[in-house]
Structure 1
């Protein structure tokens, strides 16, 4: 039986998307879908009034929008870089091909990981080139090292993959946004999935950074609420190369399942754990390491193991469009979210008729549908035509409905469940 969670909620205060509020909505829907019962009505929270939307000036545009990226070309999340950059590039191509009064220039830079200072160097370079917005980073830990530098410069930071709950109420001057949901949701889905699969005890191997510890806490809360017990939680730091102590402690606890909350370190820890005798089909992966391991692992090593990844099922047409940008793509994680982040930045600039970061930030929420009004659109040409007529829009892209709230968080999200096959590739099962 699969687990599916979709959280939808309106938010009227900056810190309103708390763990309790998000978990309450997603837990109701998760319980209903897991049991096969009809989903209950969503919480009756007041929606934003249409009058909250800023007016859109009708008329033609003549804008040049410069966007920078700090996505992982190197480091422990480097496998996410190609699909994310392809998503940005695809959006820029479509916007420019529409030829409707806005031209997008993208400057690609590396984010590295938290063991380097690459992100700071990249941001400094991008700010010197007067970008209006920066897409990235993928890693929550990396974003925390540069968010103040970006937002204090009056530039929008828009991450396609940051999932740490700590961004929700971060003091960002209203300039930080993301298309990925908080790990309060992914952790809830993961914890319930493991319990639903029959495990009563759980071991956790956790990257000691805001992403890892936040996701581990949410997973633990959900698993324990379902009646399970976490019998081991072992932390490690980015850059560690020896995991013997952590794996020995997990093996000694003999849990029914192990959640591997890591980035690229999974390539080392998973073969070591399975090689020590732990069953490969009792492992659970997360968005930071859900990857194609066919070149790395022996056949069958993790067959039957599962993992979670934010985002709806990737449509074949969009997959082909990404491959048109980068034919070598083997992974598509967060490509849709990167595409939507870029589209929303451009649409907000179009709605504001401005490329100033603060002006873009003012319109980002409403072009995403977060103010509760606007015609639904899924192509830039259609969206720009409405905006040029002074109309409101609600962008729904390949990552699904977004509806940014006042914290810059998406109010609608889906967490997919995936399973590994004999060849160590993964596919969606819900």
Structure 2
């Protein structure tokens, strides 16, 4: 059931044991297509048919293939690439040209790669992934150059309030919600009265930690210590010692896998008192226990869930293509690529502003519902000036005025038996 979250009432959905399968609507509303390829649609849903079949559709995919988030970035990228591969296999009459870039989980590298994409004429990009990279890229590259950015995983609350002229979107939810969810899990499921935090010293870590602290304290808990850390350090023993001083009931850790490997190795080597640990999506990596050398069964977490109308089709397609189950934010990347390609075709041109103006026309009601299994037909409908409503793998993919998702789902997961199991799911609709 989709519902608003009440800060004081945390309600979970039905338990679903097993690894989670993680990660519409052209504005040519009147259908009076002139077939001249000019794509004269506007965001009111009134425009012309496109007639642009056969042309190149350009899309960037800017992900952290290396660096602190590298172990997750490749699989997120693959979610986006799957859209192109499916369309090519279906024989659509467009050349889907994807330009890839590696941010290295580093803002400087991300800006450099983004500038290369702009110079190559890329009008829209899936990414970046990490919030500290996303802020630098969108503010210094995408917005000034009129390029659409759609991140599948930049969850920092500050993305909502960017002065972006409408160019920046995301298919993942804001951590303004995840902090509340984590606070409720710590208080209600773990029954913690005291907590400490250990968080990555960047936009993602700082913002999510602040949201957790606020939620936990508003629910009557006490936060004893708040300790930040830098990425990819040789040891995290000093930070662990500071955070775990005073014996908190739970430790909330925000980070990425490469740093997490060393952090958890240090914890289990020198600080393992059996304290309950809670983590967010950035540490949802099924390879982590093996890398750490511990089953990590005292670690529970929360993460955005791919639970859209097209999730079953996406999960099956992803596993068939890559011989592995999709992970965190993979479905969100698929949806971002699908929406940007549909908006490009609706716009009739590789132009960022025109694509921006078509995104809600291909993703929000009204229109005939289409999903991941219908993408070739959806492209033909858009080309013919028909209204569609894309509903995706991760959610219904409806954007609000800030470019955020209106409705999404979360999972509560735990590291068990050397992997990850989903304990509960939670659907919510933003107020």
Whether the 8 Å CA contact 1:313–1:416 is kept in 2: the answer is: no
Contact 1:86/1:325, CA 8 A, preserved across alignment: no
Is contact 2:111-2:137 (8 Å) kept? Answer: yes
What is the alpha-carbon distance in structure 1 between the residues aligned to residue 225 and residue 10 of structure 2?
A: 30
- The counterpart of 1:133, out of the listed 100, 124, 135, is 124
- Please give the alpha-carbon distance, in whole angstroms, between the structure 2 residues aligned to 1:272 and 1:244: 6
| 8 A contact 1:67–1:105 mirrored in 2 | yes
Deviates more, 1:163-172 or 1:239-248: 239-248
Greater RCO structure (CA 8 Å; 6+ sep):
2
Map 1:25-424 → 2, pairs under 5 A: 25-27=4-6, 31=9, 33-34=11-12, 53-58=44-49, 60-62=51-53, 63-114=55-106, 117-147=108-138, 148-197=140-189, 198-264=191-257, 265-280=259-274, 282-292=276-286, 293-300=288-295, 302-313=296-307, 315=311, 317-327=313-323, 329=324, 332-369=327-364, 372-378=365-371, 379-423=374-418
Aligned match of 1:40: none
* Aligned partners of 1:92 and 1:104 also within 8 Å: yes
1:362-416: CA deviation from partner (whole Å, max 9, x where unpaired): 11122121xx422221021232233234222221111111211121111111111
Look up the match of 1:46.
none
Q: Distance in 2 between matches of 1:6 and 1:267?
A: 36
Measured against aligned partners, the alpha-carbon deviations of 1:99-140 in whole angstroms (never above 9, x if no partner) come to: 4443311111101123x6321221122122111112111100
Once the two structures are TM-superposed, the CA of residue 59 in structure 1 deviates from its matched residue by: 5.5
Q: Which runs of 5+ in 2 are unaligned?
A: 15-28, 30-41, 425-431
Output the CA distance in 1 between the equivalents of 2:269 and 2:347: 57
- Alignment RMSD, CA only? 2.4
Task: Give the Cα separation in 1 of the matches to 2:248 and 2:396.
Answer: 37
Asked if the contact 1:151–1:172 (Cα under 8 Å) also holds between the matched residues in 2, the reply is yes
User: Structure 1 unaligned runs (5+)?
Assistant: 8-24, 37-49
Verify the 8 A CA contact 2:262 2:292 in the aligned structure 1: no
Alignment partners' CA distance in 2, 1:344 and 1:65: 12
Show the counterpart of 1:45.
Answer: none
Structure 1, 317-326 or 117-126: larger mean CA deviation: 317-326
- Normalised to the residue count of structure 1, the TM-score between the two structures is 0.84
CA 1:6–1:242 in 2, change beyond 3 Å: closer, same or farther? Answer: farther
